Amino acid sequence: MDLLTSIGGGTGLILVTAASAYRKARLARRPAPAPPRTGGRTINPADYGLVPRTGLIVQGNEITPEVAAALEAARVGDWRPAAGYLGRRGTDWDLAWTRLGPFHDLVLEDDRWLQAWRQEQPDNADAALLHADGLVGVAWQIRSSKLAPEVSREQFEGFHRVLREAEQAAYEAIQLAPTHDPNPYVVLIAAAMGLNWPNDRFRALWSEIASRAPQHWRAHDRALQYWCQKWHGSHELMHGFIDNAIATAPAGSLLPMLKLEAFREQFTRDDEPMTAWQRPEVTAALDTALADLAAADPAHPRLMAARGWLAYGLTRNGRGAEATEQYRALGNMVTWPWSGFNDPVGSFVGMRADAVLAMLEAQAAGAGSHAAS
């Protein structure tokens, strides 16, 4: 079943924003958090080696020339450049997952090129995976990112129906993929969340993923959401999941950054004050994450996302100088968690200013203490 048929009526209107809706739906069942504010406090970014607001790009909006050419070809019905690009994914499965993103978004706009690809190469594992992941995006668009009481019965029925189709499509992709490829199983995480899989069934799914790619960053990121309180777990289960992942991962995996996501999930869910970010356990998690970043491969595909979480957590923790260092390293990139806000760039710029000003205040306080002594 193609994506248009799966929602009925043959209209593509509901598909246009499905990709962004799925990303935002990770925050479903509660209002989106308010973006960070600076209370009118501003800086001149260039004075601190930071990229001005006009030069910032939200992560996910940037593409290479090769991908741009493949997307343009797909828009006019030629699927071969996309197939060639996805087929050169190698066996870094998390990196392979990142290569899907631009094509996933295009499928949600117009999937005719993917249909043509599947008709000509029905046993192609990449096409099958893209189809399954596209159905996930459609399902989340139908549901929307509203709180559950604001979602209609018809929306929930459509959401569950298309997620069941995505689940079946993922199992078909598993049959076509190499036995060591975890990514069709990663698609199933979203189905598990939306279709209310019990914990034991999810644990069995996770065993399939972990046995194939034990440090798959996106898989851990999605699984963290399954285990959080607003879905099918609790704060304790969520933290236990990520703590175990960190404990068993090699240095440089960048998984410790997801501990910061877990704290944000907890603090936002419980409506904790910002001072919660200054608790000893958060400080310890930041120290662990910084050490892990230092051990990471500079070419790690999740390096910028990791720096984003560090910049966010260090700012909240009151460590302005260390946070500013991460903002510099981010360059022109606006990453998660800001990319999940309604105004990603504005939220990022405001919080970055907070970090710089905290750094300056600490420097001034240190200079004053030195003078007094």
**pLDDT score at 225:** 96
Per-residue pLDDT of the chain (373 residues; tens, 9 = 90+): 445 444 443 333 333 334 444 444 444 444 344 444 444 568 999 999 999 999 999 987 678 999 999 999 999 999 999 999 999 988 899 999 999 999 999 999 999 999 999 999 999 999 999 999 999 999 998 998 887 889 999 999 999 999 999 999 999 999 999 999 999 999 999 999 999 999 999 999 999 999 999 999 999 999 999 999 999 999 999 999 999 999 999 999 999 999 999 999 999 999 999 999 999 999 999 999 999 999 999 999 899 999 999 999 999 999 999 999 999 999 999 999 999 888 999 999 999 999 999 999 999 887 766 565 5
**pLDDT score at 292:** 98
Distance, CA of 37 to chain centre? 23
In Å, what is the CA distance from 57 to each residue of 21, 257, 268? 19, 21, 26
How far is the C-alpha of 176 from the C-alpha of 179, rounded, in Å?
9
Q: Are 89 and 145 in contact (CB under 8 A)?
A: no
Q: Which pairing describes strands 57-58 and 333-334: parallel, antiparallel, or unpaired?
A: parallel
Q: Are 118 and 81 in contact (CB under 8 A)?
A: no
**pLDDT score at 365:** 84
How far is the C-alpha of 344 from the C-alpha of 348, rounded, in Å?
6
User: What pTM value is reported for the model?
Assistant: 0.87
**pLDDT score at 145:** 80
